[in-house]
Amino acid sequence: MTGELVLVTGGTGFIAQYCMLSLLNNGYRVRTTIRSPQRQAEVREHLRSGGVDAGERLSFVFTDLNADHGWPEAVAGCAYVMHGASPTPSGDQTREEDWIKPAVNGNLRVLRASRDAGVRRVVLTSAFGAIGVGHKPGYRRPFDETDWSDLNGNVAPYQKSKTLAERAAWDFVAREGNGLELAAVNPVAVYGPVLGADYSHSIRLIANMMSGQPGCPLNVNSCCVDVRDVADLHLRAMTNPAAKGERFLATVGESIWMIEVAELLRRRLGKAAAKVSTQVLTDDQVRTAGETNEQLKGIVPLLGYNMNSTGKKAEHLLGWAPRSREEAIVSCAESLIRLGLLRD
């Protein structure tokens, strides 16, 4: 049924904006939350970059994960909610609670307001970080939706926050949901075309590689997925009855090492990728740099760690058909070039 109103939280986010594009292209009206009124024009411009002039079909509410105000207004009249607002690796977090508190409490605020407003279903944007980190050597691969990250293992604060936040969401719906439905989408590294200068931490890795920044690539692998397919999976999880109460890994193909990403970029983009290094930074170098660099510190637990996972559940249950990992990576780099977002 089109014309229904959907709340998408965290409207300045990369995945959130593609979710809005998907909803608008499918006839829904969209309300989104942002913290600063000054960023409304930026959000609209990014959507136009994605091919949609939202006009009156898009509205804004100004609120914050750390505060109660604004959330009842945000969900009022909404049939569905896509909740993706959460702290991401920006380098600003100095304590573990800077990650965990807004992630957990933000989920609960959104779910509580959604329940009280009669929202049908919330689709939670979780992460691979809630599924596949902290496990000991020998743990089975590929990871799937039955797995949860082992917080007794070596887990960075970001992944810990995503794990605790998703668990808190499922616990809330089970205890206090009063009929509110929940589905979760757990993306791996998200690539695909950027819409503007504010993009995700995953894409920052591609931008750094394309710009020839020292320290890329690292001895890290991950699965990957195109942001357009992540948005499509959110829409399927929102509308398909079979998605009620389910988690879905958003991933395609097997995990890929960063050196393989570098080689792919050089092979597919030629001169445009001339600055991409194929010299892998050693683990010891990363550990040393991580002593003073918060972003690298969060990567240390992932050095040499096998993050292979499978998205077959979404494909079989929801009919999801994602693009190849190669298209996700190359289209990301091409968009960074096209929009002039690479540093000298």
Nearest 5°: CA angle at 91, between 85 and 96?
A: 75
* Gap between the Cα atoms of 227 and 247, Å rounded: 18
Structure token digits, residue 315: 């494909």
DSSP codes, 101-137: HHHHHHHHHHHHHHHHHT-SEEEEE--GGGTSSSPPT
**Percent above pLDDT 70 for the chain:** 97
What per-residue confidence (pLDDT) applies to 306?
A: 96
Q: Assess contact for 111 and 72: CB atoms under 8 A.
A: no
pLDDT band at 1 (very low <50, low <70, confident <90, very high): low
Query: Which residue among the candidates 101, 162, 297, 313 is catalytic per the annotation?
Result: 162
The residues facing 181 across adjacent strands are: 121
For residue 93, the model assigns a pLDDT of 58
Pairing assessment for the beta strands 247-250 and 121-125 based on DSSP bridges? unpaired
pLDDT in the model for residue 62: 97
Looking at residue 271, its pLDDT comes to 96
Among 228, 251, 234, which Cα is nearest to 313's?
Answer: 251
Q: Is the dihedral of CA 171, 172, 173, 176 positive or negative?
A: positive
CA atoms within 13 A on the CB side of 241: 0
Q: Which amino acid is at 266?
A: R
Look up residue 142 and give its DSSP letter.
S
pLDDT at 55: 97
Nearest one of 96, 84, 109, 257 to 187, comparing CA atoms? 84
Grade residue 88 by pLDDT with cuts at 50, 70 and 90: low
Span 243-256, pLDDT tens digits: 999 999 999 999 99
**145 close to 85: Cβ distance less than 8 angstroms:** no
Query: Which pair of tokens denotes residue 80?
Result: 């569905």
> Closest by alpha carbon to 75, among 4, 7, 175?
7
Q: What is the pLDDT of residue 198?
A: 81
Token pair recorded at residue 260 = 């393989």
Tell me the per-residue pLDDT of 212-246, one tens digit each, with 9 for 90 and over: 987 789 999 999 999 999 999 999 999 999 999 99
H helices within 213-282, ranges in order? 227-239, 258-269
Give the chain's mean pLDDT. Answer: 94
**So what's the pLDDT on residue 91?**
55
Residue 149 backbone dihedrals phi, psi, to 5 degrees = -60, 145
| Chain segment 130-155, per-residue pLDDT in tens | 999 999 999 999 999 999 999 999 99
**Which band of pLDDT confidence, cut at 50, 70 and 90, is reported for residue 92?**
low
Predicted local distance difference test score (pLDDT) of residue 130: 98
Q: What is the pLDDT of residue 99?
A: 87
Q: What is the pLDDT of residues 36-54, one digit of tens each?
A: 999 999 999 999 999 999 9
The first and second tokens of residue 336, run together, are 């960074």
Judged against a pLDDT cut of 90, whether residue 298 lies above it is answered with: no
Distance between CA atoms of residues 14 and 90, nearest Å: 14
Minimal CA–CA distance to 129: which of 96, 165, 97? 165
Residue 299 has pLDDT above 80, yes or no: yes
150 versus 201: which is more confidently predicted? 150
- Can you state the angle between helices 201-210 and 258-269, rounded to 10 degrees? 60
Domains in the chain, start-ordered, CATH in brackets? 5-338 (3.40.50.720)
312 is catalytic: no
- Per-residue pLDDT band at 89 (split at 50, 70, 90): low
Among candidates 114, 44, 111, which has minimal Cα distance to 73? 114
